[in-house]
């Protein structure tokens, strides 16, 4: 059976990946493979010369046969006077006729564009309509846009149109510029099957041999989110409460999987309540939310009816999140796909933070590990002709999610969630399309300051920072920290971020937030306890890797006079430190390994921590030694033991 080939193996995989980073990679990979037939967008899309406001779709579907027959009536408003209207429709489908009312219109179907010609020009601004009658076998696109398969020896047909697949099976406008205001979908199918689609099921009618399912969608909908599925679904529903409001959660599940799926789907109730508390009422609350089981891995966030191949906690949370981010507000360009996928990935993480807190930090660490596994890559999709790039799990999903998380750290929870709610409720965006610049503007309003630097570094820029932190504490419990940062990609000169460090000792701890503005920046604090360890970014707020192990500089008198060099290896500068019990005059000498002196400094050593900085300009790359000599008044002996450090060659 086909189900054995691709569905059972997917469920087993999900059982193993759990909440790990592989879960996000699997979601991304499954979605990427579902769209993999689209190696490039259509060479030409239908002309955008009018607003498509309504479709009435009447389809005959037998799930045992890969075939579609029916008609689509489209109501549209021309922007200006026009004498034609165009639809995206694959050439494999045969157009029987096109009518305006009862009048047949001339049409031409070439190159996946259906052009309908009017005998006289239509005025701009006035609604009109045409009906396309067509039939045929939709293009064979693997696990893509129109699939005929089996489950438990029962036939099934389902659709999945993101990003460019709607034209495979119905005449439409395949764009991210024009949402359909409303739709009616009537699906005729042999008795014994159920047909699923967007919106509310208005009626089931028919005879002993045929059933007609009438679905009504009255919220604006992007073309790629229109769906249908037909098989012998078992149906059940639940009510999700949120204050005085309730949302119907309708589920169409294969009968053989119904009992195992129900307890997993039940967890969506708490996920939806969480999202509503953070981002506002479910955006399609007057209709429904629900799940339709399909025979391929991953999920697809069809508006009001998510299609899923399994019922993993994170997958269900991810697809539910898309109803806010992707469906109610849809990315206005595939360049901005992170507004769909990065948000959905982060919201699935929020379900861990609030509902399964022991999985929250592993979720964050898993995404950081994935992002930093490769040194380059921008969250902004730089090639929208490449499906692998659009649905890149490391960038569109994981890094998209984590730049939201770091932004939350930078501006604080209050501004972060307020900005997102304002973004969702913006009259120019709600139930429409959005670009990253619009999201940025709302976050700036909420934060009360420009965030251009942040989006330049993290949305446009590539790579990530690495930190090197050196610290010491003197007898008065004064903490001194020196923070260096390296960038692993030249697109970002420096990541200006507040960085958290956790100090522990004497059964106590505290978190310091350092506003890090340049590499080599020094910070000093006075504490009321002795510190024995320091941890960088304990809550995983920052995308970083290859951070130097943070070790306290010993300050006991037994280490008096011992030199320490950092960073090691050094780049543009090197710092030399030592501890002194009493004051004295000292000379610090730095040599190449061959013996040539490259730097010498005489100064008064003071009790406590002493530090000197040397520029490495003019030094050759290689190994150097440093030695501290006493001139007078010392208790540490005539000289220190030489230490060695490396200097990297200048580019």
What's 613's domain CATH number? 2.60.40.2550
42 plus 161 within the same structural domain: yes
Residue 648 has phi, psi (to 5 degrees) of: -75, 140
pLDDT, tens only, 177-219: 999 999 999 999 999 999 999 999 999 999 999 999 999 999 9
Answer yes or no: do 213 and 318 share one domain.
Answer: yes
The Cα–Cα gap between 325 and 306 comes to 13
70 and 187 belong to one structural domain: yes
**Which of 398, 433, 462 is at the close of a domain?**
462
Whether residues 443 and 544 fall in one domain: no
Q: Name the pLDDT band for 230 (thresholds 50, 70, 90).
A: very high
User: Structurally, how many domains does the chain consist of?
Assistant: 3
Decide which of 489, 524, 552 is a domain's last residue: 552
Domain boundary among 462, 487, 503: 462
Token couple for 571: 């780049």
Q: Is the pLDDT of residue 16 over 90?
A: no
Of 26-30, 93-97, 412-416, which gets the smallest average pLDDT?
26-30
Q: At what angle do helices 313-321 and 338-355 cross, to 10 degrees?
A: 130
526 and 570 belong to one structural domain: no
Adjacency order of strands within the sheet including 234-242: 234-242, 245-253, 289-293, 306-308, 299-300
Q: Are residues 476 and 513 in the same domain?
A: yes
- 10 has a pLDDT exceeding 70: no
CATH value at residue 314:
2.60.40.1730
Mark whether 535 and 605 lie in a shared domain.
Answer: no
For residue 514, give the CATH number of its domain: 2.60.40.1840
* Percent of the chain whose predicted confidence (pLDDT) is above 90: 70
Answer yes or no: do 480 and 424 share one domain. Answer: no
**Which pair of structure tokens corresponds to residue 54?**
């309504």
One domain for residues 386 and 535:
no
Which residues make Cβ contacts (< 8 Å) with residue 283, sequence separation at least 6?
A: 219, 323, 324, 327, 328, 424, 430, 431
Could you list the residue range(s) of the whole structural domain that residue 203 is in?
1-462
509, 638: one domain: no
Same domain, yes or no, for 185 and 265? yes
Report the pLDDT averaged over residues 496-504.
96
pLDDT in tens, 441-463: 999 999 999 999 999 999 999 99
pTM, full prediction? 0.83
SS3 (DSSP) at 405: helix
The one-character DSSP state at 294 is: -
The CA distances from residue 46 to 112, 121, 175, in Å, are 9, 18, 9
Q: What does the pLDDT read at residue 161? A: 93
| 339, 301 Cβ separation under 8 angstroms | no
At 231 the three-state DSSP class reads strand
Q: Do 457 and 468 share a domain, yes or no?
A: no
């Amino acid at each position: 059976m086909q189900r054995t080939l691709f569905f059972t193996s997917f469920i087993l995989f999900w059982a193993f990946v759990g909440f790990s980073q592989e879960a996000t990679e699997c979601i991304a990979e499954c979605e990427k493979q579902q769209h993999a037939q689209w190696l490039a967008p259509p060479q030409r899309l239908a002309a955008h010369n009018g607003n498509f406001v309504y479709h009435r779709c009447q389809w005959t579907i037998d799930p045992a046969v890969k075939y579609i027959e029916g008609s689509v009536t489209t109501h549209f408003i021309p922007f200006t006077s026009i004498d034609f209207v165009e639809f995206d429709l694959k050439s494999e489908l045969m157009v029987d006729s096109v009518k305006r009312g009862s009048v047949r219109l001339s049409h031409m179907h070439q190159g996946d564009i259906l052009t309908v010609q009017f005998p006289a020009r239509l005025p701009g601004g006035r609604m009109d309509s045409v009906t396309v009658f067509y039939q045929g076998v939709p293009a064979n696109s693997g696990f893509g846009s129109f699939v005929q398969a089996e489950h438990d020896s029962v036939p099934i047909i389902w659709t999945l149109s993101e990003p460019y697949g709607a034209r495979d099976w119905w005449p439409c406008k395949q764009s991210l510029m024009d949402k359909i205001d409303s739709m009616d979908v009537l699906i005729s199918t042999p008795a014994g099957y159920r047909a699923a689609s967007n919106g509310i099921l208005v009626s089931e009618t028919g005879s002993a041999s045929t059933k007609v399912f009438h679905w009504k969608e009255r919220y604006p909908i992007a073309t790629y989110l229109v769906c249908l599925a037909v098989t012998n679904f078992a149906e059940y529903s639940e009510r999700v409460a949120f204050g005085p409001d309730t949302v119907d959660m309708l589920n169409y599940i294969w009968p053989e999987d119904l009992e195992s799926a129900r307890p997993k789907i039940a967890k969506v109730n708490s996920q939806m309540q969480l999202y509503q508390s953070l981002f506002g009422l479910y955006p399609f609350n007057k209709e429904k939310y629900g799940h339709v089981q399909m025979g391929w891995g991953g999920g697809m966030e069809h508006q009001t009816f998510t299609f899923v191949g399994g019922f993993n906690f994170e997958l269900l949370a991810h697809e539910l999140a898309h109803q806010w981010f992707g469906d109610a507000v849809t990315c206005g360009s595939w360049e901005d796909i992170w507004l769909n996928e990065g948000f959905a990935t982060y919201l699935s993480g929020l379900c861990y933070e609030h509902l399964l807190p022991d999985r929250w930090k592993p979720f964050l660490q898993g995404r950081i590990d994935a992002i930093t596994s490769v040194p380059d890559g921008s969250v902004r999709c730089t090639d929208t002709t490449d499906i692998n790039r659009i649905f890149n799990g490391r960038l569109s999903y994981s890094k998209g999610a984590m730049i939201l998380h770091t932004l939350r750290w930078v501006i604080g929870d209050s501004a972060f969630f307020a900005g997102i709610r304002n973004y969702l409720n913006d009259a120019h965006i709600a139930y429409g399309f959005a670009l990253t610049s619009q999201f940025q503007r709302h976050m700036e309003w909420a934060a009360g300051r420009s965030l251009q630097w942040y989006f330049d570094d993290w949305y446009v820029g590539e790579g990530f920072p690495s930190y090197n932190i050196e610290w010491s504490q003197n007898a008065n419990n004064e903490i001194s920290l020196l923070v260096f940062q390296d960038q692993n990609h030249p697109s970002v000169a420096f990541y200006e971020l507040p960085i958290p460090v956790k100090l522990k000792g004497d059964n106590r701890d505290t978190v310091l937030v350092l506003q890090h503005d340049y590499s080599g920046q020094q910070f000093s604090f006075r504490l009321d306890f002795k510190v024995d360890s320091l941890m960088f970014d304990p809550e995983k707020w920052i995308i970083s890797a290859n951070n130097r192990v943070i070790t306290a500089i010993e300050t006991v008198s037994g280490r008096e006079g011992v030199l320490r060099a950092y960073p090691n290896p050094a780049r543009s500068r090197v710092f030399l430190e030592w501890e002194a019990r009493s004051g004295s005059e000292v000379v610090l000498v730095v040599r190449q390994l061959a013996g040539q002196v490259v730097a010498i400094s005489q100064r008064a050593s003071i009790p406590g921590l002493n530090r000197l900085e040397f520029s490495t300009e003019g030094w050759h790359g290689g190994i150097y030694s440093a030695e501290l000599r006493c001139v007078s008044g010392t208790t540490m002996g005539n000289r220190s033991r030489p230490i060695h450090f490396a200097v990297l060659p200048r580019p």
